[in-house]
Each structure stands twice: as structure tokens, then as C-alpha cells.
Amino acid sequence: METANGKLRERPYVLVKTEELAFPICIYRLGPDRYSALLMECTHRSCELHAGSAFLVCPCHGSEFTRLGEVQNPPAEQNLHAFTITYDEQTLYIHL
Ligand code: FES
């Protein structure tokens, strides 16, 4: 992302919406060659999660998930659905 002064700043996450899925996918960059792609559907009762730089938070009952999709705080008990990601020099591919 380019700022007003023309410098590049890395985003903590990117959201992707597809026609095939009812919920967006949140992509986190975990390291230079490491990403996660998480379906933003809470595993408790299917509310759409809110993305933050460190966690995904459910607005319905407060569950939190890490950037790897692991349950951090209940009431959700199951981790988020994670998609496989591959990439080349310019493009990330999410395997739905
Ligand atoms: S639906 Fe997300 S915590 Fe209940």
C-alpha cells in the first residue's frame, strides 16, 4: 500500500471475496515466504469475523482466532477453515 508521501507500507492482512463462498477469506503474511488464508466464518455459530492485525474477532460472542486460524478464546472450539496457498513472484493462489 502506498502512503500519501509515496512510501510503501505493508498491510497486515488482505481480504478476498469470491462468488463461491459466503464469507470472505483473510490472508495474513506470516513471514517472508509464509502466508495463511482463513475463511472468516466463526466456527461457533457462523458469524462473520472482524479482521485485525493480530487476531480475527467474532462480533457475536467474542471468540478470537490467531493469524493461523487457531482458537485463542472461546466459545468457539474449532479452528477456522484454512486454505492452502501457493505463490510465484507476483501472485498468490488460494486453493478453494
Ligand atoms: S458466533 Fe462467533 S463466537 Fe459465537
pTM for the full predicted model: 0.89
> Measured in angstroms, how far is the CA atom of residue 73 from the centroid of ligand 1?
10
- pLDDT tens for 36-74 read 999 999 999 999 999 999 999 999 999 999 999 999 999
Domain layout of the chain by residue ranges: 13-95
Exposure pattern of 15-32 as b/e (b: 16+ CB <10 Å)? eeeeeeeebbbbbbbeee
Q: What is the CATH code of the structural domain delimited by 13-95?
A: 2.102.10.10
Position 3 scores a pLDDT of 64
* DSSP conformation class of 8: B
Among the residue ranges 7-21, 38-52, 55-69, 79-93, the one predicted with the least confidence is 7-21
Which residues does a 6 A CB cutoff place in the pocket of ligand 1?
A: 42, 44-45, 47, 58, 60-63, 75-76
Q: Which residues, in sequence order, are CB contacts of 29 under 8 Å at separation 6+? A: 10, 12, 13, 35
